[in-house]
Amino acid sequence: MAIIAFIGLGNMGGPMATNLLKAGHEVRVFDLVPALVKQLVSDGAQAAKSAENAADSADYVISMLPAGKHVASLYIGDEGLLASLKPGTMVIDSSTIDAETARDVHAACRDKGIEMLDAPVSGGVAAAAAGSLTFMCGGSEKAFEKAKGILGDMGQNIFHAGPDGAGQVAKMCNNMLLAIHMIGTSEALQLGTKNGLDAKVLSDIMLASSGKNWSLERYNPYPGVMPTTPASNDYQPGFMVDLMAKDLGLAIANASACGSATPLGEKALGLYQQKQQEGDGKRDFSSIIELLK
């Protein structure tokens, strides 16, 4: 069993840390929000006063933070964790961030003789709670082999996508596709119900037809079709509109830099930005269906 520092206990990090406790690890937790730390302590974790305090003598440091700027400031610079981490500690960043920042953290870790993986996840809050996340990892083969067991305590599918930053590239591609098929699914359900069809009946038909996709199967955006989705709970996240807009921004910026065409990704970003402008940034991303009503 390992000593694990877990930094960032939000919608995803909280249940991921709980699964590490269930697997028998010693987990030291830190978040800027004290109530989130308290919740994990009631599950058996040790509260830390700071990220440094959590990481002190840990075997692994796992971070699950909102965006690249949070990850860079956690690890890099005079105030960053890398200044005090002991060699032999391993860093696993599971936040969804831009590949460039991930590579910067990899390089800073290498300078200190510390192994690192960028290991973003897919599956959402339900998979985080069930321990069935998909991890997509970037880094050396050696780092991947070292982290695989720990990641397996939080997820079901553990992929080595390639070298430093490759996990973030895979995640960026996946989430652009997710954004697009959530909008497509919402359009189809809205059109069908406007024509008098029942949303559940139409969903069942499309699930058995060529329109089947993850949004329809696991995360139906129409209220009442699936009792446990954010749509049936006033679009409480889940996965916030703000985070989806961030992820689409990463994909569009990358596509523009490498000269790859993403017309639907750009259209999707415009729609999520519209949702943000309407004050819905903190609601679940499946609330995009409300724009179509």
Is residue 171 annotated as part of the catalytic site, yes or no?
yes
Distance (Å) of CA 92 to CA 60, 71, 99, 101, 144: 7, 11, 14, 14, 10
CB of 126 to ligand NAD, least distance (A): 9
Least distance in Å: CB of 270 to ligand NAD? 19
Nearer to ligand NAD, 165 or 192 (CB): 165
- The CB-of-155 to ligand NAD minimum distance in angstroms stands at 11
Check residue 95 for interaction with ligand NAD (CB under 6 A).
yes
Contact by Cβ (8 Å): 20, 7:
no
Closer residue to ligand NAD, CB minimum distance, 18 or 96? 96
- Give least dist CB 201 to ligand NAD, A: 28
Give min distance, CB of 276 to ligand NAD, in A: 15
Q: Is there binding between residue 12 and ligand NAD (CB under 6 A)? A: yes
Alpha-carbon distance of 131 to 120, in angstroms, equals: 14
Q: Would you count residue 10 as binding ligand NAD (CB under 6 A)?
A: yes
Q: Does 32 engage in binding with ligand NAD (CB under 6 A)? A: yes
Catalytic residue (choose from 171, 200, 212, 267) = 171
Exactly one of 65, 82, 143, 158 binds ligand NAD (CB under 6 A); that residue is 65
Cα(167)–Cα(159) distance, integer angstroms: 8
Instruction: Tell the burial category of 105 from Cβ atoms under 10 Å away from its Cβ (0-12, 13-18, 19+).
Output: buried
Separation between Cα atoms, residue 168 and residue 251, nearest integer Å? 10
By beta-carbon proximity to ligand NAD, the closer residue of 81 and 90 is 81
Q: Which residue of 4, 21, 114, 121 would you call a contact of ligand NAD, by CB under 6 A?
A: 121
CA distance 181 to 183: 5
* Site residues for ligand NAD per CB under 6 A: 7-13, 30-33, 36, 51, 64-66, 70, 74, 95-96, 121-122, 124-125, 238-239, 243
**Catalytic site positions:** 171
